[in-house]
Copies of this chain bind each other. A is one copy, B any other.
Amino acid sequence: MNAFETPTVVVDWPAAIRNIAEASQACAARGVALRPHVKTHKNGRLAREQVRHGAVGVTVAKVAEAEYFVDEGMADVFVAYPTIGSQKARRLADLAHRARLIAGVESLTGIAGLDAAAGRAGATLDVRIEIETGLNRTGVAPADAVSLADAIGQSQHLHLEGVFTFRSTDFLSAAGRSADELGHEEGEMIVAAAELLRERGHAVTSVSAGSTPTYVSAAGVEGVTEVRPGTYVFHDAMTLDEGTCSVEDIALRVVASVVSTPRAGVAVIDAGSKTLGGDVGQTRLGSTGYGIVGDGLGTVVALNEEHGIVSLNPGCSVHVGDELTIVPMHVCTVVNLCDVVELGHGERLTIGARGLRT
């Protein structure tokens, strides 16, 4: 009898702890704070390990994630996302009585909502302005950050604490440029935004950038005070493809069973999009897929909900009932589909923040 039934997700705990320690050391060596994005693992125990190894706190995207991680003992939480709506603002302000809470802002509407909620809660909220640096998602241009900083200055219950950005390596003008070069540029751009605000009379303490592929380079830029990688705790086929990690650093794998071998070179596994997620990308070997099948066996090239189609590499064959291990393309969305992950020896981690999206 197997230790668990497939499909399942297995975490290599020692590898995860090594990844956590190495990131902490890289940041300490560069004199910047590490505030990991915990949407990757959504688990209190791993967040506590990150803090134990030197992280100053955690980053989340949603208020509900902040609530979970404060419950799990986090004392310093940054919601790096525009919190919009009176109920969410109230929940965030309430949390500020239980932990240090920092809120991201990028609109006057967001600032007004947080100010009102902080006032009603009798709290002061630290806020950071999100700067757009190429991803074309959320955030404002540095020039537009000035009016937001002015509005924060005129608010009753908000305190401008810093600026932040996110862009990683997957955006329109990034093609063909190295993660190192992009990370350095990212650092320079966010430092320039901070400087502009300072010139206009605003105190800016935190200057925060960085994703898993770019944080080391961004951390090397004078003036960057903090980085926020997330994926590094587990890594995945994307960070492997980017050269950000080696195979030995991969700390999470999906284990699936072969349920059919319909024709030569193809196997069907019991992990589909409800296990591997919907994120497709380029593997290091050049093939496009949802994950790399271990031991050089092949690539998951197509997904239905409960069927994964594996293209086997030349000379490889598998049998119905074989268990395959897969490095998923994007680990964050895979973890979000799990209630638990296996650590081996019957031990499990509960993905406590899974499904918390408000």
Asked if B333 contacts A355 (CB within 8 A), the reply is: no
Q: How many A residues face the partner with a CB closer than 8 A? A: 60
Given contacts A84-B259, A87-B2, A262-B139, whether A61 and B306 have CB atoms under 8 Å apart is: yes
Q: How far is the CB of A332 from chain B (nearest CB, A)?
A: 6
Asked if A262 contacts B136 (CB within 8 A), the reply is: yes
Asked if B84 contacts A7 (CB within 8 A), the reply is: no
> A337 within 8 Å of B by Cβ?
yes
> A278 within 8 Å of B by Cβ?
yes
The 8 Å CB contact of A260, one of B1, B61, B82, B339, is B82
**Chain A, 91-150, CB within 8 A of any chain B CB:** 106-107, 109-110, 113, 132, 136-140
Chain multiplicity (copies): 2
Task: Choose among A84, A139, A140, A260 the residue with the greatest number of B CB atoms under 10 Å from its CB.
Answer: A260
Dominant SS among interface residues on chain A: loop
B contact residues around A259 at 8 Å (CB): 81-82, 84, 110, 138
The 8 Å CB contact of A357, one of B7, B138, B261, B304, is B7
Given contacts A137-B262, A305-B333, whether A84 and B273 have CB atoms under 8 Å apart is: no
Give A166 to B138 CA distance when docked, in angstroms: 42
Given contacts A61-B306, A306-B81, whether A357 and B274 have CB atoms under 8 Å apart is: yes
A residues in contact (CB < 8 Å) with B: 1-2, 5-8, 39, 61-62, 81-82, 84-88, 106-107, 109-110, 113, 132, 136-140, 257-263, 268, 270, 273-275, 277-280, 304-307, 309, 319-321, 332-333, 336-339, 355, 357-358
